[in-house]
Amino acid sequence: MGKLDGKVALVTGAARGIGAAIARGLAVEGAHVALNDILPPEETIAAIESTGGSASAAVADVTDRELAETTVQNLTADRGKIDILVTNAAYSDRELFYKANMEGFEKTIDVCMWGPFNYLRAAANAMIQQGTGGSVVVVSSPHAIKAIPGAMAYNMAKAAIDQMARTAACELAEHRIRVNIVHPGWTNTPGERKFFHETELSEKGGELPWGRLAEPDEIARAAVFLCAPNSDYINGSTISIDGGALLPHEQMFRIQGRPDV
């Protein structure tokens, strides 16, 4: 018996990386998982089904609001309901904002801000109509609170969806729909290869307090926990899974090498 037996979940950006790991984790706990992505998610679906889980594809662009609503409607028509939503789809370019290609800048905002909103709104309406409550996990980022240079659009979008999630948690509480946030730290995903070579990821990961990057399954465990009944009293909260990366670890130089420490 899994903690999510009989539940129906929708995960955006689920074809690979963190989203795929979350989809697998939800399925292991017994949920049927609909995998949304612009990429075909068949590989992740096959992995889920190979271990006895249940999954289906929901290929769609998260920036299309009407398509988001249709995706949720199709899922509820097929499975009878939706209990869980995890918004994970993301996109990012890295450029100085005053030189940025605005097409990429706006795409980052559309995917990372409007995408989560589109699916949150569609799923919330379905859950309210069902009257059975639900759980939403918004995969955000430490970029929401730390201004990483060269990532202004991503920083802006992640800060926005943190506020979106907290506001939704307040507005949906009367419907017994919980909304929580996960902040993954630097994670070993295919998306990081857009910005860094393997040697850079290894070297820079070694400079983090925990000495390595996170693995997608480590982020997934927190998301699955927030969807499960034993987290029922957690609402409007943020869980950071970053190995202490936001701690002031750079300041350790002040005491390292001192004879009295």
DSSP 185-224: -SB--GGGGGT--HHHHHHHHHTSTTSSPBPHHHHHHHHH
Phi, psi dihedrals of residue 142, rounded to the nearest 5°: -60, -20
- At 155 the pLDDT is 97
In this structure, of 30-34, 85-89, 144-148, the range with the lowest mean pLDDT score is: 144-148
On the question of pLDDT at 159 being above 70, the answer is yes
- At 203 the pLDDT is 73
pLDDT in tens, 173-216: 999 999 999 999 877 766 666 666 577 777 766 677 777 888 99
The pLDDT mean for the chain works out to 92
Nearest to 120 by CA among 81, 167, 159: 167
pLDDT in tens, 32-64: 999 999 999 999 999 999 999 999 999 999 999
pLDDT in tens, 96-114: 999 999 999 999 999 999 9
- At 191 the pLDDT is 65
Q: Among all residues, which ones are annotated catalytic?
A: 154
Higher per-residue confidence, 206 vs 76? 76
Beta carbons of 85 and 123 less than 8 angstroms apart: yes
Domains of the chain: 8-254 (3.40.50.720)
The tally of CA atoms less than 13 A away on the side-chain side of residue 178 is 19
- At 186 the pLDDT is 72
Residues 221-248 have a mean pLDDT of 93
pLDDT in tens, 162-173: 999 999 999 999
User: pTM of the prediction?
Assistant: 0.91
- b/e map 150-162, b = 16+ CB within 10 Å: bbbbbbbbbbbbb
- At 205 the pLDDT is 66
